[in-house]
Amino acid sequence: MIWIWIILAPILGGLLYGGERVLRARMQRRQGPPFLQPFYDMFKLLDKRTLIIHAPHALLAIAHFFVLWLSVAAIFLGWNLLYIIFLHLFAQLLLVVAGYSVRSVYSHLGSNRELLMVVAYEPILIFVSVGFYLVSGSFEIAEILKTGGYLTQLPLLFAALLVIVPIKVKKSPFDVGEAHQEIVGGVEVEYSGVFYEFLYMSRFLEYIFIYSFVYLFGGDSSWAGMLLVAGVFLLVNLADNATARVRTLQMVKIVSMTAMAFSVINLAVVVL
């Protein structure tokens, strides 16, 4: 049963992405694309001629996608939270290497920004998992989901997670890594056709990855988890429509001043 969900994970993420595009359009009082638009895009990309820069560059995109899929699978299987975070970091680094492997300046800029994004959000993810450990006594997701009351004990940690969700789903004000019209997609710039499709689908998996962290705050009540995910989803899209992009270093500064401070204070309170 769980394997079916793992195989369907990219499709679930695609539905989430499609729903988000419609929601964002409705917030701007326009009709927006069809709900299944991400899948139309995927089928179209399969039909395009593919331009390849060099083989490792194309291969790294596929590797990025599959390692990311593995980390999402690990979440569904209820593995250790730290494994999952580091698997995800590995996937991210594959993408960074891919970005540096071509000559495009935009690609290099995208890789630089991707690394700074990792610097910004990675400590927070680890702090969040440490917070779960302090409350539930385990890093295993299966164990974490057996106890509840995370929101009452870790409210500031949840706020910290809220700050880094836009970085991970590449939304304003923290969409520096992608930044269309500024650095034309960053690391995506040299990809086309089938290989771009893998990057496009890995975006869906990122959605599942970060929103499952939000879901974990619901604890043993799956309804609370779903409600949290829906609330954060709305809030992130509202912020996306209402804010402009900040610069990369500003982003790192903002995240370390708010999210980092929140999580350290919260962890100190729980430990003491």
Question: Is 24:240 a contact under the CB 8 Å cutoff?
Answer: yes
In the complex, the smallest distance separating the C-beta of residue 49 from another protein, rounded to whole angstroms, is 4
Nearest by Cα to 68 from 214, 215, 217, 199: 199
- How far is Cα 236 from Cα 188, in angstroms, rounded to an integer? 23
Measured from the CB atom, the residue of 111 and 136 that comes closer to another protein is 111
| Backbone torsions φ then ψ of 140, nearest 5 degrees | -70, 130
Q: Sign of dihedral through CA atoms 46, 49, 55, 58?
A: negative
In the complex, the smallest distance separating the C-beta of residue 190 from another protein, rounded to whole angstroms, is 7
Nearest by Cα to 271 from 263, 223, 120: 263
- How far is Cα 95 from Cα 45, in angstroms, rounded to an integer? 20
Nearest by Cα to 190 from 113, 97, 62, 102: 102
In the complex, the smallest distance separating the C-beta of residue 187 from another protein, rounded to whole angstroms, is 12
- How far is Cα 190 from Cα 117, in angstroms, rounded to an integer? 20
The token pair at 143 is 């164990």
In the complex, the smallest distance separating the C-beta of residue 244 from another protein, rounded to whole angstroms, is 16
Which residues of the chain form contacts with another protein (CB under 8 A)?
Answer: 21, 25, 28-34, 37, 40-41, 43-44, 46-51, 180-181, 184-185, 188-193, 196
Give residue 42's identity as a one-letter amino acid code: M
Measured from the CB atom, the residue of 50 and 212 that comes closer to another protein is 50
In the complex, the smallest distance separating the C-beta of residue 176 from another protein, rounded to whole angstroms, is 16
Measured from the CB atom, the residue of 41 and 220 that comes closer to another protein is 41
- How far is Cα 195 from Cα 12, in angstroms, rounded to an integer? 20
In the complex, the smallest distance separating the C-beta of residue 42 from another protein, rounded to whole angstroms, is 8
| Positions of E strands within the chain | none
In the complex, the smallest distance separating the C-beta of residue 195 from another protein, rounded to whole angstroms, is 10
